[in-house]
Amino acid sequence: MRQSSELETTFFVTAVAVSARLGHVLKEAKNISLEAMNAKALVARAGENVRTFKPITDYMVELANDTIRLVADIDQEALRISKASLIALRGNEAVNHFNTAKVKAQKALYRDSFEPALQDAEKDLHLFQQNLLRNIRRLNELLEEIENRMLAANVVTSTSRLEAATVSPLYRANFEAIVEKFENAAKTIRAIVRECRKVLNVR
């Protein structure tokens, strides 16, 4: 477990950085959605010959929509983390100021009079840090959810390849191209999400 005192120090930057990276995920998710639409159109045109592709395209659409929704949730969570970490940072600074005053006031007659203020500041800080930890955990969960979906996308890609190999040569190249784009988008998303999780865990 990382030290609580260091948690808040740069998290307001980290959260924003994660949010910025996810802009690319959104772009790729929209690409998946577009490819899924293309695949659907192709399935409709090819008819009975490629009916096994229908559930795959449905899944692609679902995956894209879920990813877009998750990115929106992550954006909200990143904003909450950014705010929570700034509050925690200010709380930490307050505690530091009071502790410095305590050292400087060692010989002062009324040095104990600000002890309640210090204790309140410490209590506040603990609460701020707990909130921040909760927000970070939630962000990690959301990122994990996207990553899991992209792992599932791998399975779908393999199935799709097999299916593409069996369809009429007339449509095969088109389906293979769709599968490849889908695979690439999923790979890119996974790489970005992994990077985001790494950034969060390095802290």
Partner 1 sequence: MQTIKLFEGPFHEWIVFGRDSEKIDKIVDTNQYLVKTNREAILLDPGGIELFSSMLAAVVHFLPVEQITHLFASHQDPDIISSLGLWDKTLPTATLHAPWIWEGFLRHYGCNNITYNPIADEGGTLKVDGIELEFIPAHYMHASGNFGVYDPQAKILFSGDVGGGLNSHEDPMFVQDFDQHIKQIKTFHQRWMPSEKAKEAWIKRVRKLDIDLMCPQHGAIYKGKDIDRFLDWLEDLEVGTALRSS
Which residues bind to partner 1, rule: CB under 8 A?
Answer: 90, 94, 97-98, 100-105, 107-111, 113-114, 117, 120-121
Q: How far is the CB of 16 from partner 1 (least distance, A)?
A: 21
Q: Is the distance from CB of 78 to CB of 16 less than 8 angstroms?
A: yes
Q: How far is the CB of 5 from partner 1 (least distance, A)?
A: 18
Q: How far is the CB of 103 from partner 1 (least distance, A)?
A: 8
Question: Given the complex with partner 1, which of 89 and 142 has the nearer CB atom?
Answer: 89
How do the residues of the chain divide into helix, strand and coil, expressed in percent and rounded to 5? Answer: 90, 0, 10
Instruction: Looking at 47-114, list the stretches that DSSP marks H as alpha helix, in order from N- to C-terminal side.
Output: 53-104
Question: Given the complex with partner 1, which of 97 and 203 has the nearer CB atom?
Answer: 97
Question: Given the complex with partner 1, which of 37 and 94 has the nearer CB atom?
Answer: 94
Question: Given the complex with partner 1, which of 117 and 151 has the nearer CB atom?
Answer: 117
Question: Given the complex with partner 1, which of 128 and 175 has the nearer CB atom?
Answer: 128
To the nearest 10 degrees (0 to 180), the angle between helices 169-202 and 11-46 is 170
Question: Given the complex with partner 1, which of 116 and 169 has the nearer CB atom?
Answer: 116
Phi and psi, residue 80, nearest 5°: -65, -40
Q: How far is the CB of 35 from partner 1 (least distance, A)?
A: 49
d(CA 179, CA 66): 19
Q: Is the distance from CB of 143 to CB of 74 less than 8 angstroms?
A: yes
Q: Is the distance from CB of 180 to CB of 20 less than 8 angstroms?
A: no
Q: How far is the CB of 101 from partner 1 (least distance, A)?
A: 4
Q: Is the distance from CB of 9 to CB of 30 less than 8 angstroms?
A: no
Q: Is the distance from CB of 9 to CB of 89 less than 8 angstroms?
A: yes
Q: How is residue 26 written in tokens?
A: 């959104």
Q: How far is the CB of 14 from partner 1 (least distance, A)?
A: 24
